[in-house]
Every structure is written in structure tokens, then in C-alpha cells.
Amino acid sequence: MRSGPISRAELARATGLSKQTASEVVRDLEANGWIRERGQTQGLVGRSATTYELDAGRAYVLGVDLGGTKVHVALADLSGAIAAEEVDATDRRGGHHVIEQIAALTRSAAARAGADPRRIRYGAMGSPGVFQPGSGRIIIAPNIPDLDQIDVVKALRVSLGFGVAVENDVNLAAVGERWRGCCREAATFAFVALGTGIGMGLMADGKLIRGARGAAGEIAYLPLGGDPFDSRGYRLGTLENAIGSVAIMERYRGLGGQGAEDVRGVFDRLVDGDAAARTTMDEVARVLAQALMAIRAILDPELVVLGGSIGARPELVERVRALLNGFMAEPLRVEASPLGGRAALMGAVGTALSTLYDSVFGMTDLPGEQARTAGVETAA
């Protein structure tokens, strides 16, 4: 029913089920309130058929984008439409305090949408760091303390009352681009987020790549832009030390740049013709282009999506494209994220919606299916 109202005969043809089985499925779903009659359609020989559609308000899913500075939650209905959103500064105490904050924001979103909280069936959360399915902990997330000390999945399940999938936020941003962004027709691509740090989400043949320990895509540690054996790069990574926000400011000031207090200011100075700002962005683009070349050599993606507060800036995207066009026989397609800061949130909603669809309808070719993550606990 992704394409709209459908009759029993059309459902049978689309799924390969017999007409009798399709009728039984429709009858069961209608009896349980998941679908409802929409109208009538005229057949080729004059006979009409009843069409059915999802009852979008029958259930809801929760998407959470947990960051070091803010928590963003969204409630969506069965059609994927956002019913309500809430945003708040991340509780600096971290750990269980953040879990309770998410629960409070969820209740607030439900009230704003006029939705019964008991109708929220599944959720998905993106966070910085690396999620460990075995322990439920999130490690390497220094801006949110104590997530590595608790079973985050279990804690969310207890506080919210329904199952929640936990995933790296950049991975979910890739999912968001596949579901609602510029990668709807791409099965193999990379999402590279450049902001305070740098990270990557990888899709190969429609499936999210996580790696043996959940750390696939940690391109901050690519040996580019500096000496990979320099111990100063152990904590953040060689590439992040070369082109993260701190490095960009160091480059700008090292070139004698003045008048910019942060990276946004450097971009502003770039518009004003500041030579130091121009050289800084040229240097960052060159290192980033080298990283994208390495990604292409390994993954052979259809395209790379650049996101994050720095990566999606057109001034940087244009420079990277020019470099790739000049040094690659078949230039890599590079696009700025159309979802911007909402990419991870959309990926979380898509993941939760897919899990719910699979649970209720037994179908796996639904929005966000490629994002079904480890760590999902279903509600009783």
C-alpha cells in the first residue's frame, strides 16, 4: 500500500498471493484496525472493487537524533508523515539523565500531536560514537558522558515502554538520504559528514555496512592530511585533525586570517574575498577530495553525499567537485545533502517505520528497510 489505495486483486498480483489468501490478509488487517476501506474502483468488465488504505493514525513510531548539544525527537504516523517534533539542549549529565530526557520529549511530542503514547510501537535513535550490540553501550561519544556505562537499549525500553534501535548517527543519516533524500535510486553510496569532526555512513547494494565491531565508516582515522604515526592523532584521527572544525580555524589563523571567530565566520570572510579564507578552503577541499578518492577505490559508490555543517556548504562542495573533475577520468558524483541537519532524524524515523511494517505486515521492502539495525527490542 505504499503507492496508495489498493484492491484485494491488486494486492494478490503485487505479492504473488492467491486471491483467497490476499482476501484473508485484508480481512485480518481490517479487523485489527490497520487498514480501512477507501472507496471503489471500476473494473474492466464493469465490476467494481473495494480499495483499502492504511489507517495512518493506528500507530506511531519515534525517531531520535541525539547529539552532543541537542536532542531532537520526531513522532511519525504509519504513512511516515511527521506528526510532531521536540528539540532540547542535551542534558550535560549524560547517561540515565539523557534517557529520561528523551522519554520526556517523547511524551511532549505525543501530547503536541494529540496521540496516545501507547500507540507508539517502535523507535530508533541515532547517536555519536559506536554502538555495541552485545552490551547495548555507546562508546567513543565523549560529548555525552556515561553512555558507555549503561545498556542504552534496555534503558530506553524501560523508560519508553517500547523497543528502540540504536545506531551511529552518520549511519542513520545515510539511511535518511536513501529514504527521503538524494539517494532514493542509489543502492551503493557514501554519506560523509564534516563538521566538528568527520564521519561516514556506507550503503552497499542497499544494505548499511557496520563492520565487525560497528566502526565501519570511521574515516576520521584515514591516514590522510598528516602523519598517521603521530600520537596526537590517536584520539581524534589523522583526517579529523587535518580538516575538522578545529583544524580549519588553525589553518585560517596560521595564514594570518583575522575577523573570523569560528568556521561559519571563515565562510563569511570567503564571500568577502578574504585571501586566508580562500586558501584555507582550498586546502580543506584538497584533503577531503583525497579522502573521497580513497572511498571510491574501496567502495566504488554511485555517489558521495556531503553533509554536516561544513561538508554541505556549497563553497566546499564546488571546490571538491572541481578537484575530482580535474584528476579523475570518470569523476565521482558528489552531492550536497538535501536533508541537511535532518538526515539522521529522517533515517531514525525510516528505520523505526520499517521495523513496524515488518512486524505487522511481514514485509521487508518498505521505507528504511536497509536500515534495520542491531539492538532492536520489540514491545510485548
pLDDT tens digits, 143-163: 899 999 999 999 999 999 999
| DSSP bridge partners of 306 | 192, 336
Q: What percentage of the chain exceeds 90 in pLDDT?
A: 67
Q: Residue 34 sits in a domain of what CATH number?
A: 1.10.10
- Are 192 and 163 in the same domain? no
How large is the average pLDDT for residues 70-76? 97
Residue 235 has pLDDT above 70, yes or no: yes
| pLDDT band per the 50, 70, 90 thresholds, residue 376 | very low
Q: Are 85 and 75 in contact (CB under 8 A)?
A: yes
Residue 51 has pLDDT above 90, yes or no: no
Max avg pLDDT among 13-27, 48-62, 161-175: 161-175
pLDDT of residue 360: 75
- Are 321 and 357 in the same domain? no
C-alpha cell at 65: 537524533
Least confident of 41-55, 103-117, 208-222, 307-321: 41-55
Give domain status of residue 355, yes or no: yes
- Are 149 and 85 in the same domain? yes
What lies within 8 Å, CB to CB, of 103 at 6+ separation is: 159, 160
Strands 6-7 and 48-54 come out as antiparallel
| pLDDT band per the 50, 70, 90 thresholds, residue 365 | very low
pLDDT of residue 282: 98
What lies within 8 Å, CB to CB, of 228 at 6+ separation is: 221, 238
Give domain status of residue 14, yes or no: yes
How large is the average pLDDT for residues 103-119? 96
pLDDT of residue 140: 81
Q: Domain tally for the chain?
A: 3
pLDDT of residue 174: 97
How large is the average pLDDT for residues 233-238? 84
- Are 98 and 62 in the same domain? yes
192-217 in b/e form (b: 16+ CB < 10 A) is bbbbbbbbbbbbbeeebbbeeebbbb
Residue 61 has pLDDT above 60, yes or no: yes
Residue 17 has pLDDT above 80, yes or no: no
pLDDT of residue 268: 96
How large is the average pLDDT for residues 347-354? 95
Question: How high does pLDDT run on average in the chain?
Answer: 87
pLDDT of residue 90: 96
- Are 272 and 348 in the same domain? no
Q: How far apart are CA 23 and CA 15, in angstroms?
A: 12
- Are 150 and 258 in the same domain? no
Residue 121 has pLDDT above 80, yes or no: yes
pLDDT of residue 73: 98
| pLDDT band per the 50, 70, 90 thresholds, residue 196 | confident
Give domain status of residue 96, yes or no: yes
* Residue 105, CA distances (Å) to 62, 88, 97, 269 in order: 11, 8, 12, 38
- Summarize pLDDT for 267-281 with one digit per residue, the tens: 999 999 999 999 999
Q: Residue 108 sits in a domain of what CATH number?
A: 3.30.420.40
- Are 245 and 120 in the same domain? no
Residue 104 has pLDDT above 50, yes or no: yes
**Model-level pTM?**
0.84
Q: Which domain holds residue 50?
A: 6-54
- Summarize pLDDT for 18-46 with one digit per residue, the tens: 777 767 767 777 666 666 666 666 555 55
pLDDT of residue 326: 87
Domain boundary among 34, 54, 74: 54
pLDDT of residue 234: 79
